[in-house]
Amino acid sequence: MKKALIFDMDGTLFQTDLLLEPALVATFDVLRKTSGWEGDTPIETYRKIMGAPLPVVWETLCPQHSLEIREKSNEIFHEKLIKLIKNHQGSLYPNAELVLEKLSENHTLYIASNGQIDYLQAIVETYHLNRFFKKVYSIQSISSGHKSDLVKKIIDENNINAGAVIGDRLSDINAAKENGLMAIGVNFDFAQPEELKHADQVIHNLIELI
């Protein structure tokens, strides 16, 4: 049986930071016109919570707004992101394709992401990632909203007994450890030093995975 490698998407394979500001600015421009938002777009706040489940993200960004407005904001944000992705205004991290091609020769690869299905599909289709990954798993496929449960679903469905989770946030590291897999932290745009110290290994470029 091939060993499995389970990758996070945002901040691990895909440089979400390139699209973050224009998509958030466009979303909060709409909120200023329709929902009484005042002040600057909370870009730095979003950077700090990148990788959190979407309900947590919008509760943090719009604490004074209703659940309905938060859900609508999330819809707008994803529409903006997907449009930018399909226009090739984003990018994979350096060496991503080379590394994925090499690793897929001897490992089965999966994606486990807190991103929505349509958002993940836009990235996969735009950058032709299906050639490397057996399956892409979104947090929307489980009811708990926890990355650990998503990784367990991947393990159970695919009879995985060894491998690693590669990601930039504590939720990825915990998902690995709670499921008996190796935790590899990537020290990229959204990574936090206090979270990465819990990883079994930390890399600074995807090429190190080979």
pLDDT per residue as tens digits for the range 65-87 = 888 888 888 899 899 999 999 99
pLDDT score of 1 more than 80: no
Mean pLDDT, the chain, whole residue set: 92
Cα(63)–Cα(56) distance, integer angstroms? 10
pLDDT score of 52 more than 80: no
> What are the residues whose beta carbons fall under 8 Å from the beta carbon of 103, sequence distance 6 or more?
5, 109, 132, 209, 210
pLDDT score of 27 more than 60: yes
How much is the pLDDT for 12?
Answer: 97
Long-range residue pairs from 160-166, CB within 8 A, at least 24 positions apart, any chain = 160/4, 160/108, 161/1, 162/3, 162/4, 163/3, 163/4, 163/5, 163/6, 163/107, 164/3, 164/5, 164/6, 165/6, 165/7, 165/8, 165/112, 166/5, 166/6, 166/7, 166/8, 166/12, 166/209
User: If you average pLDDT over residues 130-152, what whole number do you get?
Assistant: 95
Cα(201)–Cα(102) distance, integer angstroms? 20
Question: Shortest CA distance to 136 belongs to which of 170, 128, 199, 144?
Answer: 128
pLDDT score of 54 more than 80: no
At 43, is the pLDDT very low, low, confident or very high (cuts 50, 70, 90)? confident
Question: E strands along the chain, which residues?
Answer: 3-7, 107-113, 133-138, 163-167, 182-186, 201-203
Cβ pair 45, 5 in contact under 8 A: no
How much is the pLDDT for 53?
Answer: 73
Q: What is the pTM of this model?
A: 0.89
At 178, is the pLDDT very low, low, confident or very high (cuts 50, 70, 90)? very high
User: If you average pLDDT over residues 98-106, what whole number do you get?
Assistant: 97
How much is the pLDDT for 109?
Answer: 98
pLDDT score of 185 more than 90: yes
Side-chain-facing half-sphere of 201: CA atoms under 13 Å:
12
Which DSSP category does 176 fall into?
A: H
For 169, phi then psi, to 5°, come to -120, 165
Percent of the chain topping pLDDT 70: 99
Which uninterrupted H or E stretch holds 162? Answer: none
Query: Per the structure block, which two tokens stand in for 159?
Result: 């009879």
For 182, phi then psi, to 5°, come to -75, 140
At 51, is the pLDDT very low, low, confident or very high (cuts 50, 70, 90)? low
Cα(179)–Cα(127) distance, integer angstroms? 29
Cα(80)–Cα(171) distance, integer angstroms? 25
